[in-house]
Amino acid sequence: MSGEALSQMLKSLPLEDQFQAEYVWLDAFFRPRSKGKTLNLKDFPSAPHSCPPSCFPEWNYDGSSTGQAEGHFSEIIIKPCAVYRDPFRGGDNVLVLCDTYWPDGTPHPTNTRYHCQKVMEAAKDLEPWFGVEQEYFLMKISDARPLGFPEGGYPAPQGPYYCGAGAECAFGREIAEAHWKACLYAGLKISGINGEVAPGQWEFQVGPCLGIEEGDSLWLARYILIRVAESFNVMVNLEPKPVEGDWNGSGCHTNFSTKPMREDGGYKKHILPVMEKLKAKHKEHIIAYGKGNEKRLTGKHETASIDSFLYGTGNRGASIRIGNQTAKDGKGYFEDRRPAANMDPYIVTMLLVSTCCDIPYTAPGVLQNGDK
Q: What digits encode the pLDDT tens for the residues 53-71?
A: 999 999 999 999 999 999 7
Which residues lie closer than 8 Å to 133 by C-beta, 6 or more apart?
Answer: 203, 204, 205, 251, 252, 253, 254, 255
Looking at the structure, tell me whether residues 99 and 182 fall in a common domain: no
CATH number at residue 275: 3.30.590.10
Q: Look at residue 5 and tell me if it is in a domain.
A: no
Looking at residue 4, what is its pLDDT? 81
Judge if 91 and 154 occupy the same domain.
no
Q: What residue numbers bound the domain in which 144 lies?
A: 121-367
Phi, psi of 53 (to 5 degrees): -55, -30
- Total tally of structural domains belonging to the chain: 2
Give me the pLDDT at residue 369, please: 42
Q: Are both 70 and 162 inside the same structural domain?
A: no
* Domain final residue, candidates 109, 136, 159: 109
Give tens-digit pLDDT for 154-178.
999 999 999 999 999 999 999 999 9
How large is the average pLDDT for residues 42-49? 97
At 259-309, the pLDDT tens digits run 999 999 999 999 999 999 999 999 999 999 999 999 999 999 889 999 999
Which of 37, 343, 87 has the alpha carbon at shortest distance from 225? 87
Instruction: Among 109, 130, 154, identify where a domain stops.
Output: 109
Distance CA 228, CA 204 (A): 14
Tell whether 114 is covered by a domain. no
pLDDT more than 70, % of the chain = 98
Q: What are phi and psi of 300, to 5 degrees?
A: -115, 175
Crossing angle of the two packed helices 112-122 and 213-231, in degrees rounded to 10: 140
Q: Is the pLDDT of residue 371 over 60?
A: no
Provide the angle, in degrees to the nearest 10, between the axes of the packed helices 213-231 and 345-357.
Answer: 160
